[in-house]
Copies of this chain bind each other. A is one copy, B any other.
Amino acid sequence: MNKRPTINDVARLAGVSKRTVSRVINGASNVGKATRERIDAVIKETGFSPDKQARGLAASRSFLIGLIYDNPDALYIDQVQRGVLSVCSEKGYELVVHPCNYNTDDFISNCIQFVSRSRIDGVIILPPVSEAKELAETLREKQINYVRMASVDLDDHSNIVVSDDRAALRDLARYMVSLGHRDIGIISGPQRYYSSKERLEGFLETLNDLHVEVPIDRIIEGKNSYESGIECARTLLIQSPRVKAIFANNDEMAAGVLKVAHEMGITVPDELSVAGFDDNLLAARVIPALTTVQRPVGDMAALAARKIIAQIEGTEVSETETYLVKPHLIIRDSIKRV
């Protein structure tokens, strides 16, 4: 077809200079009303929309937002993407995804390359990569805009959105105890991650307040995978057969617990209660459906997107925009009163 109209076409048709058209499309204030209307009309008529490449080249911007992660949970990623995109598309940005490998040496330079090569305007970093102190420092040094999503408050509030996992785990602990549970086992996440630590501590802290003891041998550190859940559940249930309730650091591992219980002929939730975390795809599908904790992932991601765009455009985030969101308990069938 005929080529897309450019700013020059619009300028010619409206009988003004391209500079003025540029002002209009950027919403500059100092344009005469009549002129603005004329130009708007031409824009509508021709279907003109500015070329992001050219705009980017001239203004040193790309209208691209990067998403950096190293997370196996596809569902989580998907929710994040949708949340970010809902904001992006409205503001004229596009989302470029960049899964990476957190454990390689060139991980940081890889991310920097990614940003600088495509002139990405800003990046959103997902856990657990978001916990990498060094990455954040490098980005800050290079003056690259970033926002982290995390479970702990470890940055300026304009650079982070955190879910209060600890508070959610307090709720879960109270809930379990209120149902009469005293013999509790835990399959924690890797303690090198803040998020896993937060959850464990929030849980233990509250149990402690309620005078419920969890002997150290009833706490097993898992790796957050289904397989790891199976392994840990076996160890835990053999080693401490009196355990009547298990909290697993995520739904994947909780599913592993269900599997092992089934193998061992233990009925859930009659003989054993199980709680997960994430409200994964699995959670509602598994039998019995898992009682778990749901983070408002999409909302968090949208908030992160709003923050990064605010940084990029230099508009301050409104003070009402918070940085802390609280996950909430989803009660299903896997926990039963003793």
Contact = CB atoms under 8 A, between A and B. Distances in A.
B81 A119 contact: no
A141 interface: yes
A258 B142 CA distance: 53
A51 B58 CA distance: 12
A78 interface: yes
B287 A51 contact: no
Contacts of A282: 281-282, 285
A262 B286 CA distance: 11
Interface residues of A, number: 46
A85 B57 contact: no
Given A77-B74, A97-B95, A142-B1, A119 B285 contact: no
Given A94-B118, A97-B97, A286-B285, A54 B52 contact: no
Nearest to A71: B78
A190 to B, nearest CB: 20
Interface in A73-88: 74-75, 77-79, 81-82, 85
A77 B82 CA distance: 12
A127 interface: no
Interface string A24-37: 00000000000000
Interface string A257-298: 011001000000000000000000110111100000000000
B74 A119 contact: no
A114 to B, nearest CB: 8
Contacts of A113: 49
Nearest to A110: B89
Q: What is the count of identical protomers in the complex?
A: 2
Contacts of A74: 74-75, 77-79, 281
A141 B1 contact: yes
A128 interface: no
A194 interface: no
A116 interface: yes
Interface string A99-121: 10000000000000110111100
B4 A116 contact: yes
A1 B143 CA distance: 8
Interface string A43-73: 0000001011110110000111000000000
A298 B112 CA distance: 26
Given A64-B94, A282-B282, 17 more contacts: A1-B141, A1-B142, A4-B116, A49-B113, A49-B117, A51-B117, A52-B118, A52-B119, A74-B79, A78-B78, A94-B96, A94-B98, A226-B285, A255-B285, A262-B287, A281-B281, A281-B282
Interface of A: 1, 4, 49, 51-54, 56-57, 62-64, 74-75, 77-79, 81-82, 85, 94-99, 113-114, 116-119, 141-142, 226, 252, 255, 258-259, 262, 281-282, 284-287
